[in-house]
Structure 1
Amino acid sequence: MKTYLFLLSVLILNVSCESEGQSLEKVNIIAQGDCIIGNVEGLVMEFCIFDIEGNSRTVFNENENFIISLVLKNLSQETMVIDQNLIDANFFRVINVVDNEDFGTPYTAVWCQYSLAPRELQLEPGTSLTLNSPWVLDFEKEVFPTAPLCKSENNEFLNKGVYSTGFDTAFTIKKGERTIQLSGQSEISILFTIN
């Protein structure tokens, strides 16, 4: 009897959370050229790797710099607030797929300037936000990460090999009065090669 009461209370809790504006959504993901596009609830996520000239590519030469980029676009009619859990420990992490060696991220920290403001990304309807981070800082060409990403230490150029980078789709969006928890059933990732 206690088991049934527990299950009933869990069921009531789940139903009440749904009715209070919380939902669990899955991201639709498609490949488009050298980029990966994710879409959920009017939020479009364009994930690409660019050369320094801004061309999306997945093949680079040894000692060639690249920029990992995520563009967030709000195509809905409501303001979206993306929680800081989008930028987790594996956000833009680079892994050699052959030996699973972890080369870290192209940034060294997030939200580097002291502020009492909430650590979230806000997108008004019809606007976009770009999160870029070069693998190697280039002061001459003024290639730096975009806020809230920060970089104080340089990475070494990657050796020849096949690598993967990406981000997890398990993060939270507030849209109007609704809180949308993305299911995280998939990762958006790109394979790229250094020749």
Structure 2
Amino acid sequence: MEPLKSGDSHAPALLTNLEVMELLQERVAIREAASSSDGNNNNKLPSLFQARDWIEQTVFDYLNSSPAGSSEVKLDDMPKLVKTLRREPSATTTATTDADDNKLDESSDVVQGYGLTTAETLQVLNHLPTSLVELHLLIEDLEKRIPEEEKQMEFLRLLSQYSGRDVEEAAGEEEEEEETSDMEK
């Protein structure tokens, strides 16, 4: 995977944990293939890059245990998710679908968008939040930018489609479900 270059030549390109993990996985695989082709003859000498190898393996193991390391994460679909996260919520269109097959609000011709900054988008992709509390920690002024709790839950469900992680329902919704099930008994 080749990191995308940012517009500013002095600013480094930002990589998600998924991209770093994929890069490290490729490096470890190349090293393992090279060591297996060399045979056991060179195993007597310590590796000149032993510290680098240890660091890369440790970082890979950490990222693999993080939300980004889930085997259900759909890396190929992430660019479409990033476009949705970054798009301003007020964008409108007259067509029922746009060129990139992004979802539209069916009740009106408003393209779904959340207007996140680059840093917020990176944080969301790295942490893949599953609860409203996590979402509030990652997105500044969430209650002003996405005021309705149902819209916030839609945001979490959208992330869930890409991450494969279940959304933790809001406390109010859980209590209502419990009251409804208690009444039925």
TM norm structure 1: 0.24
Which structure is higher in RCO with an 8 Å CA cutoff and minimum separation 6? 1
Structure with greater proportional strand content = 1
Structure with greater proportional helix content = 2
TM norm structure 2: 0.25
Task: Please identify the structure whose Cα radius of gyration is greater.
Answer: 2
